[in-house]
């Protein structure tokens, strides 16, 4: 127990140090130039952080999920885009690790991921599915010599040009229905990316997420045997929403800290008088507390049920609703906190080059409601609420 606690603490300390020393000083340039936060990723690689969740028997850090969530929060406080890249990578690794089912290819793959600190991106969205991750157009297609291939048109692939491997959702076979999906992992030497759109967005600019046509040839062993629908409900959906919400909370927390620093600076101007702006900081703290409570309780609930035998609770509708609501609530509350911070810091917050700048924070968190569109999640919830009993 104490060994794993020490290991988790050492991992978190290392991520905090990288957040402060590497991610923070580069955050503005990453945002301005919409460039990949390469130095942060390299520093995380040097610490072995890309295999944090991989079991130690496969060469990974075997760090607890809750610690990885805290790492997303800490990176989010310093650079939202770096935190998002880290979170998205961890989501793929955690999804593969939780659905290994003793598949030999994937055990070897995780060993290689750990020893080479390979960065994994995902190709889940697809043109022609209306933003529904539960449907695919592209299929695992047999070619010569027992190999398989696919061609997928993806409207966004975050850090696609910087990844070593891709995790891709596809129909199981050319004659499978759109909902009959599997997940495959392909490596850089097996795929080709054709970039089909540009990347100059409002926020999360460092994630570098243009559209691509992805083509690959690979071995059928690289198909994860577990149906993707099961991977989604037992792992990918809750893990995604928990890690994303942790980094959004990190961004909102830094915006709040900047607003508080602004009020403190104002208080120093007139000793003995509580400045009016301090009252607004108090109001903002209650908004931040709501976000913190929702994010923290969702993490605790997931940890409590993540490794139950059969993972039965994770496949219930009540639990799907719970984590869908985490996504909706946190993606709406995080920009609200950032906007509150902007209201407090005023022009000093609006300018991009002051210690109280919160423009990047606001723009980064505005992406939250689009990443798996909230309206789509509401549609799913509306349907689940018709039949679920206790929610």
Partner 1 sequence: MTEEIRQIIAAHARMPVEVGELAVDADLYQAGMTSHASVNVMLALEDHFDLEFPDRMLTRDVFESIQSIAAALTELRAEALAS
Closest to partner 1 by CB, 120 vs 314, is 314
Closest to partner 1 by CB, 141 vs 229, is 229
Closest to partner 1 by CB, 279 vs 304, is 304
CB of 230 to partner 1, least distance (A): 7
Residues 6+ apart with CB under 8 A from 292: 249, 253
CB of 203 to partner 1, least distance (A): 30
Among candidate residues 219, 227, 214, the one with its CA nearest the CA of residue 176: 227
Buried residues in 332-344 as b, exposed as e (16+ CB within 10 A)? ebbbbbbbbbbeb
Q: Are 79 and 24 in contact (CB under 8 A)?
A: yes
CB of 134 to partner 1, least distance (A): 6
Closest to partner 1 by CB, 300 vs 390, is 390
Closest to partner 1 by CB, 1 vs 387, is 387
Closest to partner 1 by CB, 45 vs 172, is 172
The rounded distance, in Å, linking the Cα atoms of 391 and 384 is 10
Q: Are 64 and 8 in contact (CB under 8 A)?
A: yes
CB of 174 to partner 1, least distance (A): 14
The rounded distance, in Å, linking the Cα atoms of 4 and 96 is 22
Q: Are 37 and 30 in contact (CB under 8 A)?
A: yes
CB of 318 to partner 1, least distance (A): 5
Closest to partner 1 by CB, 138 vs 291, is 138
CA atoms within 13 Å, Cβ hemisphere of 107: 7
Burial of 106: CB neighbours in 10 Å, binned 0-12, 13-18, 19+ = buried
CB of 297 to partner 1, least distance (A): 19
Determine the length of the chain: 391
Pair of tokens at residue 31: 């945002």
Closest to partner 1 by CB, 38 vs 384, is 384
Pair of tokens at residue 28: 């503005």
Q: Are 154 and 127 in contact (CB under 8 A)?
A: yes
Cα→Cα distances 356→23, 65, 183, 259, Å: 18, 32, 43, 7
Residues 6+ apart with CB under 8 A from 58: 107, 110, 111, 114
Closest to partner 1 by CB, 137 vs 384, is 384
- 8-state DSSP, 223: B
Which residues are near partner 1 by CB under 8 A? Answer: 134-135, 172, 176-180, 227, 229-230, 233, 312, 315-318, 379-380, 383-384, 386-390
Within 10 Å of residue 46's Cβ, how many Cβ atoms? 11
């Amino acid at each position: 127990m104490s060994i794993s606690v020490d290991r988790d603490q050492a991992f978190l300390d290392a991520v905090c140090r990288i957040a402060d020393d590497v991610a923070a000083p580069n955050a503005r340039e990453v945002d301005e130039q919409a460039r990949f936060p390469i130095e942060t990723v390299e520093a995380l690689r040097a610490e072995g952080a890309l295999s944090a969740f991989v079991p130690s028997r496969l060469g990974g850090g075997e760090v607890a999920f809750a610690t990885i969530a805290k790492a997303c929060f800490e990176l989010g406080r310093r650079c939202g885009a770096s935190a998002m890249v880290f979170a998205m990578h961890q989501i793929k690794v955690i999804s593969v690790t939780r659905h290994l089912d003793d598949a030999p290819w994937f055990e070897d793959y995780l060993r290689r991921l750990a020893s080479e600190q390979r960065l994994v991106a995902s190709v889940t969205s697809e043109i022609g599915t209306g933003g529904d991750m539960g449907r695919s157009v592209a299929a695992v297609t047999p070619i010569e010599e027992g190999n398989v291939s696919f061609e997928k048109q993806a409207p966004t692939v975050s850090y696609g040009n910087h990844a070593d491997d891709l995790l891709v959702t596809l129909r199981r076979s050319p004659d499978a229905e759109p909902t009959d999906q599997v997940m495959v992992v392909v490596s850089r030497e097996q795929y080709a990316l054709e970039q089909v759109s540009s990347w100059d967005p409002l926020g999360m600019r460092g994630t570098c997420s243009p559209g691509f046509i992805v083509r690959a040839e690979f071995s059928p062993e690289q198909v994860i045997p577990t149906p993707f629908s099961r991977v989604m409900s037992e792992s990918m959906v809750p893990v995604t929403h928990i890690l994303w919400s942790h980094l959004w909370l990190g961004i909102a927390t830094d915006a709040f800290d900047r607003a508080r620093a602004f009020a403190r600076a104002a208080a120093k101007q007139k000793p003995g008088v509580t400045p009016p702006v301090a009252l607004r900081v108090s109001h903002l703290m209650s908004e931040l507390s709501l976000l913190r409570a929702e994010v923290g309780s969702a993490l605790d609930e997931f940890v409590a049920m993540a490794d139950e035998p059969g993972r039965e609770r994770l496949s219930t509708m009540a639990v799907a609703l719970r984590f869908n609501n985490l996504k909706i609530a946190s993606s709406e509350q995080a920009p609200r906190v950032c906007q509150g911070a902007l209201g407090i810091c005023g022009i000093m917050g609006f300018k991009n080059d002051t210690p109280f700048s919160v423009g990047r924070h606001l723009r980064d968190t505005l992406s939250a409601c689009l990443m798996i569109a909230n309206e789509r999640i509401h549609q799913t919830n509306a349907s689940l609420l018709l039949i679920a009993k206790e929610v």
